[in-house]
Chains A and B, each alone.
Chain A
Amino acid sequence: MGNRKVRTPLSILLPICLATFAAHAQSFRVQCPTSTITHPSTVTNVNAEPAYNGPTVFATVPVANGQGGYLTPTSNVNGAIKCQQISGGDGYSTMADGTQTFMFSFGPLSGLADIANGLPGTQFPTAFNSLYPYPTPLQPGDPATTDKASDSPYTQGGYQEGAPGAFAWNGAVGLVPDVDANNGSGTAGALIDGHVDPRQIMDVGVMNGNIPAPLIGIDEDDELFLTLTNVGMIMRPDLFEQHTVHFHGYPNASSFYDGVPDASVAINIGGSFTYYYLSPDAGTYFYHCHITPPEHLQMGMVGQLYVRPRQNRLASGTSLYAGLQFQQSDLRTACSPANDILCSATLPAINTGTAQGPDKLGNPQKYAYNDGDGSTAYDVEYPLQMHGFDPNFHFVGMTFNPEAFVDMKDKYFLLNGRSYPDTVRPGPQATQSSDGKMHYSQPLPAIINIPVGGKALLRLVNLSVSEYHTIQSLGVPMKVVGWNAKLLRDQEGNNTEYYTNSITLGGGESLDAILDASNTALFQPGQVFYLYSPNLDHLSNDAENFGGLMTEVHICNSVSSSTFGNTCN
């Protein structure tokens, strides 16, 4: 029993409390509706992000015999429906010194191809609800198995064996036609209604943990349906561990979908639960399991989540200031400091006259926030998660012993689940798990490629459970534009952004820093700069004294896309 003490007077509660565990039935399912009250398919295309030219127009639909009804969109519908499925279970990752580390973890159960390519796994309904198209069934380890992944490095560019590409499907694992639900309906073909074949979920989801957990990326005005499917932990059959998803930093969250097991429900093994949120204001958030947090977070159940602003969707040529004015006409998105003390995206004090146009890649300019003045514009973006693993705790966590929290001491310091030099290996990192299959255990690299003269948004998050971390930028200045998913702006519209070469975050904190390489005299193609932790003991991979929290910043003639998975030309 170790240090886990039990207060004797409460032992009478034992039988009652254990009954909780007796009640679990297998019930996997996914949810991704193709039409909702907020996104009616009769009024809008739920599979695309329309341009933003003002708030959604609503009307109240009267209900017979009742007083009023509720607001329903009639035109100008913004946002779309987004869906994602993740597993809660266990898995292995590879540390930079070659050690395989056991994790409690989330893994992808949808958007597998996108996740393997370093992208968010979040999908529109049409992609999420697409059935697995290949003749060979889904295999344990997929997509790494189909990709013939190995643990040796590969070069980028074009498909090759052992690199992502062969497996190109992003649908929900397990989704199959619901033959029963179709009985007697007379329509041809069975319904796609969220019914799943649990065998496929177990084949792909078991021992398939990722660090970081699958990336979630959504847009303001989206509805997100995030399904958590608890596949159990193969290495710890003694544990009846539930899992949850806590949407960390969500303003005005509901308690029901907040993922705190004490305040809501927790998902037993064999069950699926779909979390439902309308996107909060733009910003860098993250998610994690909230079951026994010192344990489940240390063990690896931590992922990144960001919300892109409406400003990205303004039509070319539209004034950013005018775009922000549109949002002020909807009370849900308005920021009037006199009436709301907890908002910061108010109209800027100075109208810079900036209009929406192309970025350095020729794409529509992207922004971290609805700034109205272009102050948070960037060309490329990279979510970066700081975390730490205590190898001792992970070893004990794999065995049938109680862990101690007081002595927790991280010895692997991770950026996106990897330590230097693994942080600068392109593509997903694969680990052979105890099932003998390769799994994409650490899909995200941490290489920062910036086109010459460009700006890179770092969405920085610290999910360590025991350490504050500092990250220093050696060379390229950082412009800090957001803190804890809010624009840095005072109540009179003055930007309070600041330049620095280092940032410090505690566990559970996020900030947005733009690496500003716009000075082409200083930052030229071919140059390499470093991001590293000046907490010098965080530059270690356990016994190796050089590695840890460090990665490279490359200045490129051009880049092939705007985030991880791109090539530096």
Chain B
Amino acid sequence: MREMKKMNRANSKTIQFCGWAVLAIVLTGSAFAAVPGITGPTFNLTAQDAHLNQPDGSAVYSWGYGCSQKPSGFVPQGIANATCPSMQVPGPTLVVTEGQTVTVNLTNNLPAAAGNTSILFPGFQVATTGGVVGLITQEAAPGGSVTYSFTASSPGTRGYYSGTQGDLQVEMGLYGAIVVLPKNPPANCSAGYHASNLLAEQHWGESDFRLSTAAYDHPSTCYDREYLFQWAEMDSRIHRQAEAQVLDPTRVALCAQGAATAGCSLSVQTEPYHPAYFLINGRSMPYLMDPNYAAEYPHQPYNGNPHMHPGELVLIRTVGQGRWQHPFHEHANHVRILARDGNLILTPDGQALAGILMFNTDTTPGQAFDGIFYFTARGLNWDAYGHHPAPNTPGSPADANASLPCTPDANGYNTGDPTAINYFEWCQDHNKPLQVNPFGDVAAGGPATLPDPNIFTNGAWYGGTPYLGPDASLRATAPACDTTQNAGCTTLLPSNTQANPANERGWAFMWHSHNEREITTNNVFPGGMLMMMLVDSREFVIDESL
């Protein structure tokens, strides 16, 4: 009996690990993120109920905002399968431009027992039309409507959420984000590195999925790629109690006589609070990394699956929803905080940035931040691409990509040729070997000896070598794995499952809550607030249309 238990414990972990990795591959193919949203400046929204899918198989009854009619447009251009369902969590991301007059018509299609609902837009001067008087704003009564209008006075990322019985309604999913784009993105954001990054994208046939070129009307806020992450936890007991009461025939009958009828209104306990689901953009790992608008999650359209190329400035738009703080840890580099709640943090003379650098960017309920991240591999002290000056194996044909030049620009990066695979390589480490005696066609004489691969367990995102990109990963394979005979062979163990396939071989880094308990889904690890960020070599096309 004891033997049995022991085996089960070990096996269950393995199965889960392999399981979610495989699931992600099956569903994703290449599914990336961008910042999908809808355009206005008039938004016709509804608040409704539906069920959210979680990776433990549960469908959790929730409330969310959605579109009551087709929105005026979807962004970014070229995003596939874009829809705005009548209920989604988070609510539709509202994308507007600085100076626009934004009008949000909200209709309350929640069950009558839920009572009134509303939306708060912190950071804007909101005027209301219609609706009924609520505690902190005008509300839409069951079946009724209310209109909020305001000027998108300044750029930035901000949250929006219910201003009615927030302990219940925000928990149920009534929250979303609004992105205000700068009216006049600074000219320098289309010059220099940003211009050559675009040339590199074009060379490889990659599209530009940005909403703008700058986060703010400030020359230090340029970016080359962007993602939006909304963090919230969920206590499914509250949701079950709400669902049971909404379906309760007695209550349904009372509500049929009018929402104001005594006994119609829900009486759900929101304390004690004991969340078991930890969500980014309404999803948990591994569902989180599946495509935007994936049909499997009709009410959770937004994903979290960041990718980037070396040297790109990546704008991280983050909103803390829910009621807890979460220490969002970005592996691989720091984040410069540009702004909080749309307020740029600048030096006293307003000329330069003064926001701090963090490797853990805390998310706080009701607070949004914009931050810039990049990855270049600077200072590793070995050539990330496994370059070397001359063929390693006498007599073997040299791969032309093994001996590419690296010409440092004023900052030390190889940016002269945007069409090069090693565009943005850190040149101080060019050709510098890592391994004492490597396999394959990479440089030897480095400081490190890698052990027998048989004492490793390979991760789903491990490419089989220390090196970046499909070309380097192929070259650095074991002698038994002759790439002239078998172009796809690797040093990965036969048991390995791949979420980082042979044509990608990016460097994967975990972005997750460092309250590690929150990278679980209802007691199962892995899950929750966890996603893999991939730094991809230039020849891999990051297609964020999915």
- Interface residues of A, Cβ cutoff 8 Å to B: 1-7, 10-11, 13-14, 16-21, 23-25, 27, 29, 31, 33, 36-38, 58, 63-71, 194, 223, 225, 237-240, 242, 246, 248-249, 251-258, 260-268, 270-274, 276-278, 280, 290, 292-295, 297-298, 331-332, 337, 339-344, 400-402, 404-406, 408, 464-468, 483-486, 488, 490-492, 494, 496, 506-509
Contacts and interface: CB of A to CB of B under 8 A. Distances in A.
B431 A70 contact: yes
Given A20-B493, A263-B510, A293-B516, A484 B360 contact: yes
A509 B327 contact: yes
A66 B390 contact: yes
Contacts of A341: 220, 313, 336, 353, 372, 374
Nearest to B459: A262
A4 B17 CA distance: 12
B353 A337 contact: yes
A508 B514 contact: yes
Contacts of A256: 465-466, 507
Contact of A3 (B18, B378, B451, B522): B522
Contacts of A260: 331, 459, 508-510
A258 B375 CA distance: 14
Contact of A506 (B325, B446, B454): B325
Interface string B430-448: 1111100000000101111
Contacts of B433: 37, 70
Contacts, number: 366
A70 to B, nearest CB: 4
5 contacts: A4-B12, A27-B455, A37-B446, A260-B459, A276-B447
Contacts of A342: 333-336, 357, 372-374
B261 interface: no
B454 A406 contact: no
A75 to B, nearest CB: 17
Interface stretch (B97-105, B169-177, B344-352): B344-352
Given A65-B390, A272-B455, 9 more contacts: A7-B23, A13-B15, A251-B334, A254-B384, A260-B510, A273-B456, A292-B526, A332-B412, A491-B354
Nearest to B327: A506
A276 B430 contact: no
Contacts of A490: 347, 352-354
Contact of A252 (B276, B332, B446, B508): B332
B494 interface: yes
B515 interface: yes
A58 B19 CA distance: 49
A507 to B, nearest CB: 4
B8 A1 contact: yes
Contact of A492 (B16, B21, B349): B349
A391 to B, nearest CB: 16
Interface in B386-438: 388-390, 403, 405, 408, 410-412, 428-434
B485 interface: no
A253 B12 contact: no
Contacts of B451: 27, 29, 271-274
A255 B379 contact: no
A5 B284 CA distance: 15
A262 B532 contact: yes
B57 A254 contact: no
B524 A258 contact: no
A51 B331 CA distance: 32
Contacts of B532: 262-263
Contact of B447 (A37, A468, A485): A37
Given A37-B445, A332-B378, A509 B9 contact: no
Interface in B454-496: 454-462, 465-466, 493-496
B192 to A, nearest CB: 10
B525 A295 contact: yes
B497 interface: yes
B508 A70 contact: no
8 closest A-B pairs (Cβ-Cβ)? A508-B514, A66-B389, A271-B455, A66-B390, A238-B6, A506-B327, A255-B507, A491-B352
Contact of A223 (B335, B381, B445): B381
A492 B15 contact: no
Contacts of B389: 63, 66-70
Interface of B: 2, 5-19, 21-23, 55-57, 220, 274-276, 313, 325-327, 329, 331-336, 347-349, 351-354, 356-360, 362, 372-381, 383-384, 388-390, 403, 405, 408, 410-412, 428-434, 443, 445-449, 451-462, 465-466, 493-497, 507-510, 514-517, 519-520, 522-526, 532, 535
A314 B516 CA distance: 40
B333 A251 contact: yes
B357 A13 contact: no
A267 B454 CA distance: 10
B343 to A, nearest CB: 15
Given A10-B22, A17-B15, A263-B532, A24 B455 contact: yes
Contacts of B8: 1
A166 to B, nearest CB: 34
A7 B381 contact: no
A4 B448 contact: no
A289 B455 CA distance: 17
B217 to A, nearest CB: 17
A494 B347 contact: yes
Interface centre among A262, A331, A337, A509 (most CB of B within 10 A): A262
A7 B524 CA distance: 11
Contacts of A408: 517
Contacts of B449: 29, 31, 194, 274
B509 A25 contact: no
B517 A7 contact: no
A253 B332 contact: yes
Nearest to A278: B381
A16 B332 contact: no
Given A7-B57, A27-B455, A294-B519, A400 B362 contact: no
B379 A68 contact: no
A270 B455 CA distance: 8
Contact of A25 (B12, B405, B455): B455
Contacts of B19: 6-7, 10, 13
A276 to B, nearest CB: 4
A17 B14 contact: yes
Given A238-B10, A494-B348, A38 B447 contact: yes
Contacts of B410: 339
Contacts of B377: 252, 254
A66 B14 contact: no
Contacts of A58: 428
Nearest to B313: A341
Given A18-B11, A486-B356, A490-B352, A263 B313 contact: no
A405 B451 CA distance: 34
A66 B403 contact: yes
Contact of A17 (B18, B332, B334, B375): B18
A17 B495 contact: yes
A492 B327 CA distance: 28
Contacts of A264: 459, 462
A331 B410 CA distance: 9
Interface centre among A70, A278, A280 (most CB of B within 10 A): A70
A69 B431 contact: yes
